[in-house]
Amino acid sequence: MKQPNQSSRRKFLRNGLSAAVAGTAIAQTACSTENEKPSAQAPYINFNDSYHWKMVTTWPPNFPILGEGCNKFAQWVKEMSGGRMEITVYGGGELVPSLEVFDAVSNGAIELGHGAAYYWAGKIPAAQFFATVPFGMNAPQMNAWLVAGGGTELWQETYAPYNLLPFPGGNTGMQMGGWFNKEINSAEDINGLKMRIPGIGGKVFSRAGGTSVLVAGGEIYTNLERGVIDATEWIGPFHDYQMGFYNVAQYYYYPGWHEPGTALELFANKDKFEGLPSDLQAILRTCSERLNLWTLSQSEVMNSLYAHKLKTEENVEFRPFPTEVLDIFRKYSEEIVNDMTAADTASKKAYTSYKKFQDQFNEYAIYNEKIYYSSFQPNI
């Protein structure tokens, strides 16, 4: 028997897949009720069509883990789509400034963005609750809320007026409390201290008597070295090591009360996303889920390795914040969040869902994680 050539085989498979997709669509339509109709009809799948999108990020080009994950996301999309969809990734400042990523995707100039929701606090105060809250949920809890607890649906509702569709796009894990050139033995030691710390955490630090200073990432080291600031937080041991902070600060404090599990975001221009064929929409969703898992996993691995490296090779002194100081930070954090939710309806709605899930999780944790770490992990 004559064997079909490569072109014929490809045509046969393509036609077969098209028929299967069409059959599935007919079956789904036949089984749908009036209340289950999709919100938007995806275009017909044409396997000859190709799509070239751009992604802009808030991270420097090829930034370890965070920017690296965006590059991997683009690679996964290309592989899963058989080359039909290609995404070019631009670091902050390469195509648009880092803090203009939101607007560039919102107005449709760019198709995709990646960053952290608290960067848009000035535009959408409620966005901060989809990133992190001082003394809030850790990474597994954030993922549970966003993926299965209704958080993403609420997030999408919050971004809808801006024509954006957000998805969980990674997590840094629990961060460190920061690098200090002064010992923190009591709440009084915060008075007059200048620290680079943004977001809600920065407001808490200022209310506790310090001064929150906004400093670009590339300027932190020099400012800390010259005494322009007395302390800084960044991310965790891996990224902090890359920045060389151990050369200019004496004490490394923990825990990262201000960012216990910072969620990152991938967001698409909603109109352009809905204009894609259904299979490419599914591929983007699936790759965002993979990115979410990869980023957290990579962060946990590298932070544990570099925490050991900082202690054993650089002789960094890891110090816990005194309980008195953490209590003060917690008190002011609650006050600030209450002020936010009282002043903004969207913030109240987001935080009500967030806090309800956190309380539910904490109630359950006393039967497993809390007792496990306190009783069965002697080295923790």
CATH number reported for the structural domain that contains residue 125 in this entry: 3.40.190.170
User: Where is pLDDT greater, at 178 or 25?
Assistant: 178
Structure tokens at 342: 């009282």
Task: Give the span between the Cα atoms of 173 and 204, in whole angstroms.
Answer: 21
Q: What is the pLDDT of residue 40?
A: 56
Outline where 230-316 has alpha helix (H): 237-243, 270-274, 278-312
Q: In this structure, is residue 120 part of a structural domain?
A: yes
Within a domain: 76: yes
Whether residue 137 is contained in a domain is answered as: yes
Residue 361 host element (H or E): helix 345-365
- Residue 145 inside a domain? The answer is yes
**295 within domain boundaries:** yes
Percentage of the chain beyond pLDDT 70 is 87
> What is the spatial distance between Cα 188 and Cα 106, in angstroms, rounded to a whole number?
44
Q: Are 329 and 134 in contact (CB under 8 A)?
A: yes
Q: How far apart are CA 267 and CA 70, in angstroms?
A: 12
- Positive or negative torsion for Cα 103, 107, 110, 113: positive
Instruction: Provide the 10 A C-beta neighbour count for residue 34.
Output: 5
Give the HSE-up count for residue 144: Cα atoms under 13 Å, Cβ half-sphere: 12
pLDDT-derived band of residue 215, with 50, 70 and 90 as boundaries? confident
pTM score of the predicted model: 0.86
Does some domain include residue 279?
yes
120-135 residue pLDDT tens: 999 999 999 999 999 9
Q: How many residues does the chain have?
A: 380
Q: Which residues, in sequence order, are bridge partners of residue 54?
A: 88
CA proximity to 251, closest of 345, 307, 192, 318:
318
Asked whether residue 112 is assigned to any structural domain, the reply reads: yes
User: Residue 347's pLDDT band (boundaries 50, 70, 90)?
Assistant: very high
Give the single-character DSSP code of 376. S
In a domain, 276, yes or no: yes
pLDDT, mean over the chain: 90
Number of H helices, E strands in the chain: 13, 11
Give the containing element (helix H, strand E) for 157: helix 151-159
**Mean per-residue pLDDT for 142-166?**
97
CA distances from 51 to 83, 84, 208, 240 (A): 9, 6, 51, 38
What pLDDT is recorded for position 218?
78
| Average pLDDT of span 99-120 | 97
Contact between residue 195 and residue 233 where contact means Cβ atoms under 8 Å apart? yes
Residues 163 and 156: their CA atoms lie apart, in Å, by: 10
Domains of the chain: total: 1
What is the span of the domain harbouring residue 93? 51-171+261-300
> Is residue 67 within 8 Å of residue 60, measured between CB atoms?
yes
Higher-pLDDT residue of 105 and 16 is 105
pLDDT band at 319 (very low <50, low <70, confident <90, very high): very high
pLDDT of residue 217: 80
